[in-house]
Structure 1
Amino acid sequence: MSKASRRQTTAQPQISPSEQGIDGLSWLMLIVLSVLWGGSFFFTEIALRELPPFSLVLARVALAATILWLIIGLRRISLPHTPSVWLGFLVMGILNNMIPFSLIVWSQTYIASGLAAILNATTPLFTLIIAHIATDSDKLTLRKVIGVVTGFAGVIVVTGIPALDALPGLTTNNNESAISLATIAPFAVLAAAVSYGCAGVFGRRFKSVPPIVTAAGQTTGSSIMLAPLALMVDQPWHLPMPGMPTWLAVLGIASISTAAAYILYFKLLNRAGASNLLLVTFLIPVSAILLGVGFLGETLEFTDIAGMLVIGLGLAIIDGRPIKWLRGKANSRTT
């Protein structure tokens, strides 16, 4: 090979993971991650039969933090020494664990796990909007705007806003209006998605910190914040001793759907890139619905399925790959 050839070869730009196609192992990891995260809705549905929401969330994050710190200790991973980083872990724990976990768990006392998973799939939509407002480098494009609008149209299909008169769930009792908690529950999941979106933007400051340390730090921070809240609101010492299915569900949601999911998440992030990782959002509702229908006897309305498909279409538009695929098919037919 000549020197010119070698220079031309070495001058080729490297392709980032997010720009590459997903290989077979990455697809397998993606599917497994969707089952792990989809399983959190399944485990929650079981544990809520005997545990109140705050106690369940506290058990989830505290046990997950314990598992993550044990792994960090065994692997002898170095820890950050800057106080601002540890304060950031606390904020991240509030935004990424405490608020969304509590809202989603509370909502599942009124709605099915599959519906909660569908509404939770709006997280990338809110992330795009928040990133557009809060950052200078991640602005909305026309394609992303169309995707966001499509995604929120799916939310409207699921929540049924157009079918309601005035305010949703409005009832009259002694000349006073009250909104039923069952009607508010879907919007609690949407609020959780907003919190996840804020966490996604805030979490960019931890690029220099080992991912598993960030995960352990945020679950520890959320445990510290949730402990007094769970003690005051739930008063767990007055609760009857939970049965074995509840303990197994708590162990599953902490070890499988939190600790193991975080580890796999960060491995997949490094392997496939952030944009490819967003594809897991398509798969989580499917996993949660299949688990809920198969093991919990849940049923979903036609509007739930239709809304999930519209949300998925919005995410596909944002992701851009289906459009590129269709263009490639069209070009191949013309040539």
Structure 2
Amino acid sequence: MKSIERSAIVAFASLGLIWGSNFIFMKWAAELISPIQIVFLRVLFGFFPILALALYRGVLRKQHLRHWPHFLVMSILATALYYYAFAKGTALLPSSVAGMLSGAIPLFTFVLTALFLKQESINVRKIVGVVLGFLGVLLIARPWSTGAGGLDPWGVGYMILGSLSLGSSFVYARRFMSNLEIAPLALSTYQVGLALFILAVATPYSGLSNIGQSGVALSGLVLGLGLTGTGIAYVLYYYIVQRMGAVQASTVTYLPPVVALLIGILVGEGLRAMDLIAMSAILVGVYVIQMPVRQRSTGVSDIRN
């Protein structure tokens, strides 16, 4: 195995671990500050590594500013609203459940792309994948359960909102930004920077210092969610896209739900057999949707989807 391949695999595994651990960090922080304050600090500490790398590589251009409306939309869909919905959902749910529900993001992305971009070919296999995936979401949410054994429906709703928001951002980016010829690192810098501005205006600062009451929660927020979960995660993602290709890189979304579930077990959140079945249904559904179609005549994979 070539060294460059080994480094890409290490980056791939690291990114899955980083994203999967985000949920427990959000859970710890939610005990001391509000979800919007969590997101503000996360974006604040995550923005600087992205900005530093963008400046180092010289990818920022003044002429890019004419596209600011697109950057603004992406800052809301792919950062501010997405992060807030997940922080709010995680505050209301066990971190393991929130992490498992996040595994449905590719399902929402596929459905939205098929509805609004018409770039996804609809066939029986993909319909089965979507149905299987959303069945897993339903089994995790278990809306039929009430009382002590049930989950907070608002928490589930916020996780779905966050997934829809991020899925919508992919559709918007493909439709309006794919031809802008702006480096992905520059797009991320503008996106996260505008999100930081929005959050700085919208966030109430009263009680923000409460996060300092717990060194573990503070470290998890600043280092886990901010520096690593937002800043370094962007760098790792672009690295594996460059080294492994977009299709292979997208499979990193399989790892965070598994990591979140394992961390939840380690911190004593418990595990139901149904949760394992449900998560498996989601991951298999995502795999079925993303699985390339084999051309019988040539044996070449069709990666248009």
> Partner of 1:125 in structure 2?
107
Q: Which of 135, 149, 158 is 1:188 aligned to? A: 158
Do the aligned residues in 2 keep the contact of 1:63 with 1:254 (CA within 8 Å)? yes
CA displacement, residues 118-138 of structure 1 (integer Å, 9 cap, x when unaligned): 111111111111111221433
Give the alignment partner of residue 209 of structure 1, picking from 159, 179, 182: 182
- 1:198 match: 168
Shift in alpha-carbon separation, 1:201–1:304, aligned structure 2, 3 A: same
Instruction: Give yes or no for contact 2:89–2:156 (8 Å, CA) kept in 1.
Output: yes
The residue aligned with 1:52 is 34
Q: 1:116 aligns with which of 98, 102, 115?
A: 98
Match of 2:283 among 309, 312, 315: 312
Query: Residues 93 and 240 of structure 1: is their aligned pair in 2 closer, same or farther, counting only changes over 3 Å?
Result: closer
The alpha-carbon deviation at position 32 of structure 1 amounts to 1.3
Runs of 4+ in 1 over 4 A off after TM superposition: 22-25, 237-241
Give, in whole Å, the separation in 1 of the partners of 2:237 and 2:211.
36
Whole-Å separation in 1 of the counterparts to 2:54 and 2:183? 10
- Structure 1 unaligned segments of length 5 or more: list them: 1-21, 171-179, 325-335
Which protein shows a greater Rg?
1
Residues 309/181 of structure 1: CA separation in 2 closer, same or farther (3 Å cut): closer
C-alpha distance in 1 between matches for 2:260 and 2:98: 9
- In the alignment, the residues of structure 2 paired with residue 266 and residue 80 of structure 1 have an alpha-carbon distance, to the nearest angstrom, of 23
RMSD over aligned Cα, in angstroms? 2.5
Q: Which amino acid aligns with 2:257?
A: P
Residue 214 of structure 1 deviates from its aligned partner by 1.5
Residue matched to 1:10: none
- 1:101 and 1:146 map into 2 onto residues whose CA distance is 29
SS in 1 for 2:213: coil
Gaps of 5+ in 2: 295-305
1:18 match: none
Aligned positions, number? 285
- Are 1:93 and 2:96 counterparts? no
Q: How has the CA–CA distance of structure 1 residues 79 and 298 changed in structure 2, closer, same or farther, with 3 Å as cutoff?
A: farther
- Contact 1:128–1:140 (CA<8 Å) still a contact in 2? no
1:242 paired with 2:208, answer no
1:142-221 map, 5 Å: 142-161=124-143, 163=144, 182-204=152-174, 205-206=177-178, 208-221=181-194
Q: Which stretch shifts more, 306-315 or 65-74? A: 65-74
Counterpart-to-counterpart distance in 2, 1:75 and 1:51: 36
Among candidates 253, 258, 270, match of residue 281 of structure 1: 253
Could you tell me the TM-score, scaled by structure 1's length?
Answer: 0.78
